[in-house]
Structure 1
Amino acid sequence: MEVTLDEMVSNGFQVAGTYDPDFSELVDVFRENFICRHEVGASVCVIMHGRPVVDLWGGVADLTTKRPWKRDTLSTVLSCTKGATALCAHILAEEGRLNLYEDVARLWPDFAQAGKAGTTAAMMLGHTSPVPHLREPIRPNGMLDWEYMVERVSTEPAWWKPGTRQGYHGLTFAWTVGNVVRLAAGMPLGAYFHERIAGPLGLDFYIGLPESEEPRVARMIASDPGEVDLSSRFVQAVVGQPGSLPELFVSNTGGADFSSPAMRAAELGSVSGVTNARGLAGMYAPLARAGCGLLSVESVARMGRCQSATYVDATLLQPMRFGMGFMVGMDNRLAGGFSFRIGERAFGHVGTGGSVGFADPEIGMAFGYTMNRMGAGPLLNERGQGLVDAAYTAARTK
């Protein structure tokens, strides 16, 4: 039995959608996010064994115009895009068009410059390749110039010997993994993603948003400065260590506006994806089911297997764990860092501010959450984690 929801919560926000009664606790958390946790606009979707059991949306897509968040509202999902880019790489690998374990210089000879010879696509996917960021300033709007950024990444001197250290490739993932996908596929990343994934699965998910879809996009709201932990190692490095990886990650962007139409139109496989919760959950749904047809069981297992882990990621300066192109579960509450608490075999990706998509093949669950009011930090905040926890509570009782 499916329940239809269409109601006004106590602070005046409208929430709507459908859900399986077994997931009523998740619906309560979704409501509470608007009432108690300053949610403005959001969507959440859960798919179990290929069947949608939660599909909710609500709030306001644009505070200035009061445009409501509707069923087809889209938003920028920032680093959730990395999961889509990584999936492209794994499909190419299964097709025999990309060897994840050979030197990428065979595809991209220029990348071998300046101490980077021996780097593999697997290292790029696992954030152990030697180009976590760029040292010299990116020119204004340079991130929107594909050829310029690929050249900058290929000529960047290695930060470390390939594969010997882990540092989150928060931005450069777009031109490491992204360019390897482009070369192996013989077409731009966004086109390949649409041809092999978004199109066949019927996903409202774009890497390179067409101008015609702009009216549906929610307006992003910056995180509250009061939520930032000023004592964290990451923030201390950003403000007090010029030239460090944390400081460069935050400041060396060429003045990029990550919520601009120009950025959404760009095909940046690290940050420019645009979708909603249905799109994120829909992308992961085939990966949560054995024998889904999109990839082999062996490939899915490889994607979720922890490949790199460290107590101090060189960029984020906190414990981080990665599968091959995806984040895997990490509980950093005792370590004082941000967390992504999911199942032992689950894998996916969080976007800065709190959006998230993941698959858990152990229980057959795919999950997506998007929002427009960003939280502080690179991983989940209480709004998203509360929804994830509630989804697991329901899923494990079915």
Structure 2
Amino acid sequence: MDVNGTVAEGFEPVREAFVRNFDALGERGAAVAVYRHGRKVVDLWGGTRDVDGTEPWEQGTAHVVHSATKGVAAAVLLLLQQRGQVDLDAPVGVYWPEFKARGKEAVLVRHVLSHRAGVPVVDRPLTPAEAADPARTAEAVAGQAPVWQPGTDHGYHAHTYGWLVGELVRRITGRGVGDWIADEIAGPLGADLWVGLPDARRDRVGRSGRVAPPETESSLRMRPKRSVAEAYADPASLTSRAFAAITPHPDDNDPAYRAAALPASNGIATAEALARFYASLIGDVDGRARLFTPATVELARAEESSGADRVLVVGTRFGLGWMLHGTASPLLGPGSFGHPGRGGPLGFADPESGIAFGYVTNGFRKTVTADPRAQALVRGVRAALAG
């Protein structure tokens, strides 16, 4: 496998792990990037641009990153808080009066970010076309009764997180969340990152698809436990209902889906852009001022939710919009915050080491959080720092 790109001296373990992902873990096409203290130290890509093609992955090839989009969406509300435009402890209904219906009066903006709002499902799933309509998604979650008392427990809001955040941003700023990200985050950073892909960038994005992992001892250990597998198999469970909030499941390669702004699930990015985004949260990048103040970084990664997740079943930890380092979401260290995407993608920051990390792939697996390929690369970063 030809692997292209560069690694700074000392970060060779990341390159070795990246090559092994192709040799041993069935990688088809992927890229990984790492920044340290605002300087890019890893920028690698390899394989094919399309999961089912032969054209090579190039520098700048982008892919859908699924729920890794949630980390970018979270930054919007935290930046609005940093600018004094939103109060995290205010009820959502202050900004969005229609949301107060059916027992949701006490849902706080903080609860939305920490998956404590109690609305991970909608009683009638939306079609992909309906999910692309912000007015329809806002109506759906505003009219939904909570499935637990808001603020008392947590459960992963797989799709509804994006509808909640997106409507809050629209009510507060008057702009769609995709436009806000383009104007205030991706544009100033020079990052190839979109929530709502412009037509002019369609040729930058490869085709993705589901691929089965090789049957190795490691992959067998990664199979979900019976209780988790049962939750996904039971159509009446919160697990199944949360992921089925859009039915049928959207086609990642559909131009209409890619053009929609779904801030929980359909962001498109290069690995370099994901890493650059996280680098900008914790420090200056290439002369560009950091996005988050140190106080906002601490706010972002302070634990808000932990323990058994009502949707994912396993134990999870969340700050304000980001997953925190733990068993379900192993990142670099105790202070890391970031977000995986279903099937493989991962982005995170680790303020203590100054590391920012981005990984994208075209070959999606059944994993929701700790994908073996991403974890192999994280171990490579850890080895580089230890060496």
Q: Tell me which interval the TM-score lies in, with the shorter structure as reference length.
A: over 0.9
Is the Cα contact below 8 Å between 2:158 and 2:243 reproduced in 1? no
After the TM superposition, which parts of structure 1 deviate over 6 Å for at least 4 consecutive aligned residues? Answer: 225-228
What residue number does 1:178 align with?
166
What fraction of aligned residue pairs are identical, expressed as a percent? Answer: 35
What residue number does 1:334 align with?
none
**Distance apart, 1:363 and its partner CA:** 0.9
Extract unaligned runs of 5+ from structure 1: 1-8, 332-337
- Structure with larger RCO (C-alpha < 8 A, sep 6+): 2
1:205 to 180, 184, 193: 193
The answer as to 2:357 corresponding to 1:357 is: no
**Distance apart, 1:119 and its partner CA:** 0.7
**Distance apart, 1:290 and its partner CA:** 8.0
2:310 to 293, 314, 318: 314
Which secondary structure does the structure 2 equivalent of 1:43 belong to?
Answer: strand
Matched length: 377
What amino acid does structure 2 have at the position aligned with 1:205?
A: L
What amino acid does structure 2 have at the position aligned with 1:268?
A: L
What TM-score, normalized to structure 1? 0.91
What amino acid does structure 2 have at the position aligned with 1:18?
A: T
**Distance apart, 1:139 and its partner CA:** 4.0
Extract unaligned runs of 5+ from structure 2: none
What residue number does 1:275 align with?
269
User: Deviations along 1:181-210, whole A, 9 cap, x unmatched?
Assistant: 221122010111111110111100001001
What residue number does 2:279 align with?
285
What residue number does 1:297 align with?
294
What residue number does 2:383 align with?
393
Is the Cα contact below 8 Å between 2:331 and 2:337 reproduced in 1? no
Which secondary structure does the structure 1 equivalent of 2:333 belong to?
Answer: coil
What residue number does 1:4 align with?
none
**Distance apart, 1:230 and its partner CA:** 6.2
Q: 1:41 to 1:326 in 2, by over 3 A?
A: same
**Distance apart, 1:231 and its partner CA:** 4.5
The answer as to 2:240 corresponding to 1:247 is: yes
What TM-score, normalized to structure 2? 0.93
**Distance apart, 1:357 and its partner CA:** 0.5
The answer as to 2:70 corresponding to 1:70 is: no
What residue number does 1:5 align with?
none
What residue number does 2:230 align with?
236
Superposed, 1:130-145 pairs within 5 Å as 130-139=118-127, 141-145=129-133
The answer as to 2:53 corresponding to 1:57 is: no
What residue number does 2:362 align with?
372
What amino acid does structure 2 have at the position aligned with 1:278?
A: E
In angstroms, what is the RMSD of aligned CA positions?
A: 1.8
User: Deviations along 1:38-75, whole A, 9 cap, x unmatched?
Assistant: 00000000101111000000100124441211001000
**Distance apart, 1:30 and its partner CA:** 0.5
What amino acid does structure 2 have at the position aligned with 1:294?
A: L
Superposed, 1:94-243 pairs within 5 Å as 94-139=82-127, 141-224=129-212, 229=223, 231-239=225-233, 241-243=234-236
